[in-house]
Amino acid sequence: MKAVWFHIDAESEMIEAAEYYESRQKDLGKRFLESVRSLLHQIRINPGIFKTVNNNIHLAKTSIFPYGIIYREKENSLEILAVMHLKRKPGYWKSRTGK
């Protein structure tokens, strides 16, 4: 399996979302992180199965929360560009692609 690298802003998004959910209900933030970890595991196993949104950039959606992981496959790794709420600012992560 390929290594996973988070864009610094994607990691911050994930942490902020977990903190928000935890502030709403005890252990909800933990369940959010477990959902993201599970999805990351699926991505690592078969990165090509999720919807392509732009060239080699993919979107994988969590099963419970309204969040998705925007990522791209590189030669030896997977780069997580965003852990995004699916109903807010849909294209904000594009500046993180370096293009």
Residue 66 belongs to domain with CATH number: 3.30.2310.20
The enclosing H or E element of 91 equals: none
If one counts the domains in the chain, the total is 1
Task: Report yes or no on 94 lying in a domain.
Answer: no
The pLDDT value recorded for residue 54 is 86
**What predicted TM-score, i.e. pTM, was given to this entire model?**
0.90
* 77-85 vs 3-6, strand pairing mode: parallel
Task: Report yes or no on 98 lying in a domain.
Answer: no
Residue range(s) defining the domain that contains residue 38: 3-88
Give the residue-averaged pLDDT of 7-18. Answer: 96
Task: Report yes or no on 95 lying in a domain.
Answer: no
Task: Report yes or no on 30 lying in a domain.
Answer: yes
Task: Report yes or no on 22 lying in a domain.
Answer: yes
Q: Taking the alpha carbons of 98, 92, 37, 11 in that order, is the dihedral positive or negative?
A: positive
* Residue 42 dihedral angles phi and psi, to the nearest 5°: -60, -40
For residue range 32-49, list pLDDT tens digits in order.
999 999 999 999 999 999
Residue type, 75: E
